[in-house]
Structure 1
């Protein structure tokens, strides 16, 4: 399959694939300007997408709140809600070919990578449907004649602001627990990659999720994202993206005490110790740094390598990088697709140039890549920079492209110090055959996630998120499930006599 083989899966016009907003179970035209959706592999027009304005956002949030208040989903018996989520997962599985082809065309990620990632989407809905049935309330051992217990209730309206790099996965990591716990959702996909979100909403409606419970509003971040973030009825904001936009979202949400989950920037360290076979570590580091064209917050961009194997590792990594097949993301043989836009490509190339000016050396790559037949695409060569120290901007700043830097170290303490010397703390990887060292170093790494002899692995049961400027909150596991709820304490007096504090001698306990 090539990108030319993409077939429309939502409503059509006479021209390219076109999308409307999904509000209240209906496809509606947005009142904002229509937006061109570009195929990053060709630079050509893939679709024309409606966009929302603030009035559309207001309508979507009000519809979501009305659905929540009606109880059609929020107070639905949990066994029925769980069954519908399983039907939703079944619907996603049945449309998987449409979804991964559409996503590949929309964000340029190679088909093999997209398949490997989004074929796991049903797991997220099934896992959270299971948590819904497995969750239990707690009995609180309050002294005296009282039976005290807790219960959890949904928040209300939740908004999810998804990113372009993994549109379906990023949306589903929070959509699944948000729906499972009974919330209504307004999903805003990236304006660059809105297509699969629209199809996802259609599948949800077909599965029996009531109208108004899941709404999708496409549009520009400063308009639609800001309106959702600031809306007084939105009780939680989930955002995946850059640190500075995340900071603004946190401040806006804090003004009304809304919850946030923010998965933000990263420049993840990859520590390579001398006891690891060099070829194995080089292949693993290449996967961590170049998968998704390096357009992941968790990308292993800082390779911190023991000095005794530095040169050998650099040579092995260069061989791997130069062997990566760059091409049409719709071709099963392609291993590296384009970055999302011309602007992103130019920004990445500028970062490489700045790195060279500050003393880094390009070992391989360093420029744009040309793919025959796709000359308008936004391709960047897999790039390895050496001669880098951890204080250089090319090591400290997120690049969000297929660029890794190699930094030598001499001892374990120095490796840990380099790894932790960063404003970010999303993830890290350790390559070693020493089990004791693996646990010891992992315990010292400041990061929300640490992989040993691997990278970029996730599961619905495992919490995902960062520390420091990489964000706050977690996606996945009980941590995420419960964060879409609030706790209510119920205390029942069980004594046979009545409360009469003022009728005689006051006794008992007060708070």
Structure 2
């Protein structure tokens, strides 16, 4: 394994100039809860302190958002004007791009090259949903008789978005963009571990002319501020990305008041490698699938299924790839793997590795904390490969959420499909093959929300993103997400020349 050494002149960002208060109704205010220290996972040290919301702050934010919604300043704004402001918002994001990706790397430890590649696409989500807003059309319903019937859509009201630590801006924007485009007001609560880019986004929205109270940003702990937001009776939809158990609790809370919920939860994505795939191609693809973002992504290719004819060579090739990955300071462009989010996360991940070895898995490479010169307090882990895993082992069934890939052999196509679908999770998956017919055939049998062929991790504003089973419900992206931030109403207009006189002796036709 190659370890990169840090240099003193990391990207300079004046953190002290960033907003640290709760943004409610266009104003920054201190929170009622204990302030939160923000830790750089590469150093293990706090580098900022932000305000935190208590339940009263959450209630105030939701009520301000609801009042703003009912005022119509955004919800009833002409769609061309709303789209124009969304484009201005996107312009503002592009203007602060360097600040956003630098800050996100400081905040969650993802290598700057990865963060930059992701954040530079952020504005696309706002522009795409602005375009959907202008392209959307009402449907005419072919009703029987002398009637003109059609549908119209209208916004839900207040939307609560709870964003995770691993991709704070991208995941928040996947729902924030359609929520705003369709006329809703939003209360955004970022992870307490990574609140800073969301706070900066609130500034950018205000500078772009988004009316006060339309986008409110509150920091706070998930168990207090997050719970209060998801349980608030005025919140008409909750969007959450995170663990399955928290998602289950949110689902119950929203169902109790018949609110909507989009939940993108855990994953244990299978990557199916067939023996017609060149070994070097498979090894590189598996490394990309499993180790990007230090494996801290719900769709990480953490369950590698390899056909027996190439199994040993793919395991060796993946191990070689893992050993070449440059682990180090995430602010350096040459770093390829940064730290995990916290010491607690590192302990949990390494505990999974130990349990897997105890179950009978073979440790091929990694499996330890990584020592990065100059960053003794960072939460680094060596890229880890565990081979000879059975699909019924805990490490094959549980989400590890770290740079750990488990490798499982299979004999034929039917077994590969069976193993892939044998999981409580069903978010993403990938197929590596040179046989185009097999690619389509297998993809149609994978019970997953997303399937990639000869690739992984790709997303676009136009493509629906989400899973099933314990990976959640609902979709982000495309028309599927856009319309889920609206209600639909059916409007029926009688066009007959005569009046309705059902009880006057002229009762004809159908009631339903």
TM over 0.5: yes
Structure 1 residue aligned with 2:210: 209
Q: Post-superposition shift, 1:509? A: 1.3
Structure 2 residue aligned with 1:257: 258
Q: Does structure 1 residue 267 correspond to structure 2 residue 268?
A: yes
SS of the residue aligned with 2:429? strand
Structure 2 residue aligned with 1:304: 305
Q: Post-superposition shift, 1:391? A: 0.3
Structure 1 residue aligned with 2:83: 82
Structure 1 residue aligned with 2:411: 410
Is the 1:305–1:409 Cα contact (8 Å) retained in structure 2?
yes
Structure 2 residue aligned with 1:279: 280
- 2 CA distance for matches of 1:143 and 1:358? 65
- 2 CA distance for matches of 1:380 and 1:465? 28
Is the 1:40–1:106 Cα contact (8 Å) retained in structure 2?
yes
Q: Post-superposition shift, 1:216? A: 0.5
- 2 CA distance for matches of 1:509 and 1:144? 9
Structure 1 residue aligned with 2:498: 497
- 1 CA distance for matches of 2:411 and 2:133? 49
- 2 CA distance for matches of 1:185 and 1:499? 44
Structure 1 residue aligned with 2:13: 7
Q: What is the CA deviation profile of residues 148-204 of structure 1, one whole-angstrom value per residue up to 9, with x for unaligned ones?
A: 000000000000000000000000000000000000000000000000000001100
Q: What is the CA deviation profile of residues 315-352 of structure 1, one whole-angstrom value per residue up to 9, with x for unaligned ones?
A: 11111000000000000000000000000000000000
Is the 1:46–1:106 Cα contact (8 Å) retained in structure 2?
no
Change (3 A) 1:2 1:157: farther
Structure 1 residue aligned with 2:232: 231
Q: Does structure 1 residue 329 correspond to structure 2 residue 330?
A: yes
- 2 CA distance for matches of 1:272 and 1:387? 15
In the TM superposition, 1:377-388 aligns within 5 A as: 377-388=378-389
- 2 CA distance for matches of 1:222 and 1:316? 43
Q: Post-superposition shift, 1:385? A: 0.2
- Taking structure 1 as the reference length, the TM-score comes to 0.98
- 1 CA distance for matches of 2:314 and 2:198? 41
Is the 1:2–1:330 Cα contact (8 Å) retained in structure 2?
no
Higher deviation after alignment, 410-419 or 1-10: 1-10
Structure 2 residue aligned with 1:509: 510
- 1 CA distance for matches of 2:50 and 2:371? 28
Is the 1:65–1:233 Cα contact (8 Å) retained in structure 2?
yes
Q: Post-superposition shift, 1:4? A: 5.1
Structure 2 residue aligned with 1:433: 434
Structure 2 residue aligned with 1:367: 368
Count how many residue pairs are aligned between Structure 1 and Structure 2: 506
SS of the residue aligned with 1:19? coil
In the TM superposition, 1:42-441 aligns within 5 A as: 42-441=43-442
Change (3 A) 1:3 1:510: farther
SS of the residue aligned with 2:346? helix
Is the 1:41–1:374 Cα contact (8 Å) retained in structure 2?
yes
Q: What is the CA deviation profile of residues 390-412 of structure 1, one whole-angstrom value per residue up to 9, with x for unaligned ones?
A: 00001100000000011001110
- Taking structure 2 as the reference length, the TM-score comes to 0.98
Q: Post-superposition shift, 1:11? A: 4.0
Q: Post-superposition shift, 1:10? A: 6.2
- 1 CA distance for matches of 2:497 and 2:507? 17
SS of the residue aligned with 2:186? strand
SS of the residue aligned with 2:326? coil
Q: What is the CA deviation profile of residues 394-449 of structure 1, one whole-angstrom value per residue up to 9, with x for unaligned ones?
A: 11000000000110011100000000000000000000000000000000001000
Q: Post-superposition shift, 1:2? A: 6.2
- 1 CA distance for matches of 2:86 and 2:15? 22
Q: What is the CA deviation profile of residues 340-385 of structure 1, one whole-angstrom value per residue up to 9, with x for unaligned ones?
A: 0000000000000000111011100001001000000000100000
SS of the residue aligned with 1:153? strand
- 2 CA distance for matches of 1:128 and 1:370? 44
Give unpaired runs (5+ residues) of structure 2: 1-6
Is the 2:15–2:48 Cα contact (8 Å) retained in structure 1?
no
- 1 CA distance for matches of 2:418 and 2:142? 45
Is the 2:74–2:82 Cα contact (8 Å) retained in structure 1?
yes
Give unpaired runs (5+ residues) of structure 1: 13-17
Q: Post-superposition shift, 1:508? A: 2.0
Q: Post-superposition shift, 1:507? A: 1.6
SS of the residue aligned with 1:235? strand
- 1 CA distance for matches of 2:56 and 2:243? 26
Q: Post-superposition shift, 1:5? A: 3.9
SS of the residue aligned with 2:339? coil
Is the 2:64–2:213 Cα contact (8 Å) retained in structure 1?
yes
